[in-house]
Structures are given as C-alpha cells and as structure tokens.
Chains A and B, each alone.
Chain A
Amino acid sequence: MVSMLERFNLHEKAGLRDNLAAVLMALLALPLWLKAGGVYGAAALALACLSFIRTHHLVERIRAAERQKCRLDQELIQSQKLASIGVFASGIAHEINNPIAIIGQEAQWIKHVMKGLDPQVCKGLPEMEDSLQEVLNQVNRCREITHKLLDFARKKDPLIQAADLNRLVDDMARLVEREAVSRNIKILRNYQPELPPLFTDPPLMRQVVLNLLNNAMQAVDRDGAVTVATRMSEKGFEVRVSDTGCGIPAEDLNRIFDPFFTTKPQGKGTGLGLSICHGIVTKLGGSIAVESEKGEGATFTIHLPEDNESHVCKSQSADSR
C-alpha cells in the first residue's frame, strides 16, 4: 500500500515538472517574439501557448489514468487479501467446530446427569450448575463465531431473483426505525423513484443493508441521523448509507473490511459484519466502498451491476412455472 502511495506521489511530482517545462518553453518564446517581432514572433508565441496547453492536457490525462490504476490496484489487493483470509478463517472454523460441538454435547449431558443428583447429598451442586451454565454460554458464543466465519467464506452461489431495490432497502429501514426513534436517530430516506428491477439475491442484500444500518446507528449512538439513499449511477445500482456519527480514522479505512477488525470493546463485536458485507457484495458482482473523516460521519456506498442475460433467464424460467 505504501509503495503505491509513493509511486502516486512520484507521478504528482513528475506532472508538476512537466507543467513547469511547458511554462519555461513559453517564457523562452517571449524573447524570440521581442527579437523577431511581428507575425513570426506572434506565431512562435502562439505555438508555445498551444504546446503548453497540449502538454498540460496530456499530463492531466496521465495523472487521471494513474489515479484510476492506483484505485484498481488497491481494490484488487483488498479483495485478494480478503479472499485469502476467508479461506484461512473458514479452515480454522471448520476444525474448531467439531470440538466445540462435542464440548457442548458433553456439557449438556453433565447438566442432565446433575438434574438427577440430590442437593442434600451432593454439596456445592448449585455452584456447579452455575459454572456449567457459563460453559454452555461460552460454547454458544464460540459456535456463533465459527458459524459466522463459515458463513463468511461460504462458497454457495447466490440465488438470483428480481427485486425492487427501494422496497428492499426500505423494509430494512423500517426494521431499524423503532430502535432509531428511541435513540433519537432520524432515518432519512432519499430513494430515486421507479428504479428498474434489480436481479440479485434478495435475502443476502437485505443482510448487507441491515448490517450497514446497524453499524451506522452504532456509530451515531444517540441524537443524529442515518441517511439511506438509492439511485442509478454510471456504475449501475447504487445504495448509500451515511451517518452523522464519530467517523472512521484514516488509518482504519484500509482495514475496515478485514475480518476481525473491530474498534468495539472486546466481546461486543466479532469484527465480521463488514467483511461479511464485503464478501456478499463481491459475490453479487458488485463493490462496496467507504468514505469517512474522523468526526464527520461515514458513508458506505454499494454498487451493483445492472442485470445481465443469464440472471434474467433464470428468473423467467422460475416465473413460468
């Protein structure tokens, strides 16, 4: 990541140098004009100006291309990183799942056996029961984490159906609204009306939107606003969730989609929510990005491609039955 930034800076400097060269050329043409005077001089100056404009234009284009390439490189690195972490994490989750299941079963069995014991005879039984309950609670917690991990890396292909994106987003907004109101958080809606049908996996998309809304509300905590917006952009369907919360520090932005990355206190969040979102959106052929400045809130933007042929076919065959 650092090397890419350096490269980017180098190009910025090169651009500046090229611009300076063009200005110099124009300056050099000035004495020529003074010396030659009249038509030739004016022509020389005009040519110099033209070359300046042309160079400037070219430099701008190169810079834009470089910026674009940097962004694409970054996205590629990000998705490769997430994919490899996903494989690794699901491997561990798979291995740990079975022992956890056995611990859980044995603990359940002990609980069952203990029910038949006489507290009069067996002293300390209530304490043992308490401890055992705690073992079971922790087993459940582990199980939840491993399931989330397996979910995150799940290879299952999405099931594509036609959906009304505004409707889908608003259903999730309604789901969080009551809790939002109780914390004095306004849910602001900004939907572009009459969007074409979106071919996607609706439950997976709902999961993503709900996750983003939940994150946004946690970031605001109390007294603020969460804005949900949809529109068609040049990149296809767009969903944006922004909040007026605490924002994300610049150094965390690169890691925000990493599994287990969390800023919440231990035990409060698994740090899997956003990486699951990233995984789902990627699986649906789209992209998810974040913009934020500390103290200024954050905006998550999802882009989903417009429908393609194969999706349409699948859904039609289902309708015709």
Chain B
Amino acid sequence: MKDFRVLIVDDEPDFLETIVKRLKKRKIDASGVSSGKEALALLEAQVFDVVVLDVRMPGMDGIETLREMKRMRPVMEVIMLTGHASVESGMQGMQLGAFDYMMKPADIDELLEKIRQAYQRKSLHEDRLKEDKIIG
C-alpha cells in the first residue's frame, strides 16, 4: 500500500499530539488540528486521504464538520471518534457518509486498522471513478 495522508481533528491537545506521534511512528503521514474550522481551512489547501474526526468539539461540532467535509471532498473517508456515544449523532454521522465510529479511548492498533480500511475504500472509490470516466 502506498503512503497516504491522515488528518486528526480533536480539541484535546494531549490526545491529538499523542495520536499524531504514534501514527507517525507507524510510518503514516499524519497531521493534527484542533477544530472543525481549522480542518476545513486545511482541506482547502491540501489533500488528505482519511480524516479522524472528534464528534464533540466546541464551535463547529463533528457532525457539522463532517457534512462540510463530505461536500468538499466526497471521496475522502472520515472516521468519527466519540467519547460519549449518542445514538442520534451516530445515525446522523453514518447517514452523512462517515466510514465508521470509534469509541474513545481509541486503541491505536484498532484505529490504524480502521484507517487502513478507510484508505482502501477511498482507493476503490477512485478506481471506480476513473473507470467511469474511461467508459463515459
């Protein structure tokens, strides 16, 4: 699998730092930002393959951010991260096209596995779009 870029969005600085560091240690090109607004601004300028997004953040919350992200980059996959699972937000997130939900505290290997699967899905999706273009 080729290198891919991951963006972590979480308002807890400790968590953010740790997870970015641990992903980098596993040779994943990971970056972190601490709010939905920052994430969207970064997405305007750069391309990411997978986003890991906290559901509960002050300001723009995870669901709102997800909606906007999917509008901007429909093929990019988003994994939602939640500490206090609410069924309602889970349903909303899945319907908006989230790849998966993960409960906090997230086990790093589990998260890594989900990121890989999300990336695989994104690649499949891109392949399909390319095929469609060739046929169309």
Contact = CB atoms under 8 A, between A and B. Distances in A.
Interface string B93-136: 01101111111000000000000010011011101100000000
Contacts of A314: 124
Contact of B90 (A175, A318, A321): A175
A202 B117 contact: yes
B85 interface: yes
A164 to B, nearest CB: 10
Interface residues of B, number: 26
A318 B124 contact: yes
B87 interface: yes
Given A159-B128, A175-B103, A321-B123, A203 B98 contact: yes
B41 interface: no
B101 A171 contact: yes
A178 B124 contact: no
A176 interface: yes
A160 B101 CA distance: 19
A175 B123 contact: no
B91 interface: yes
Interface in A166-181: 171-172, 174-179
A206 B101 CA distance: 9
Contacts of A177: 85
B1 interface: yes
Interface in A228-251: none
Interface size class of A (residues with CB under 8 A): 20 to 34
B84 interface: yes
Interface in A293-321: 314-315, 317-319, 321
B46 interface: no
Interface string A260-292: 000000000000000000000000000000000
Contact of B120 (A207, A210, A318): A318
A66 interface: no
A172 B99 CA distance: 12
B124 A159 contact: yes
B90 A176 contact: yes
A203 B123 CA distance: 15
Interface of B: 1-2, 82, 84-87, 90-91, 94-95, 97-103, 117, 120-121, 123-125, 127-128
Given A175-B90, A317-B127, 14 more contacts: A172-B90, A174-B85, A202-B99, A202-B100, A202-B121, A203-B94, A203-B97, A213-B87, A214-B87, A315-B124, A318-B124, A319-B1, A321-B1, A321-B2
Q: What are the 3 closest A-B residue pairs judged by CB atoms, nearest first?
A: A207-B94, A175-B85, A159-B124
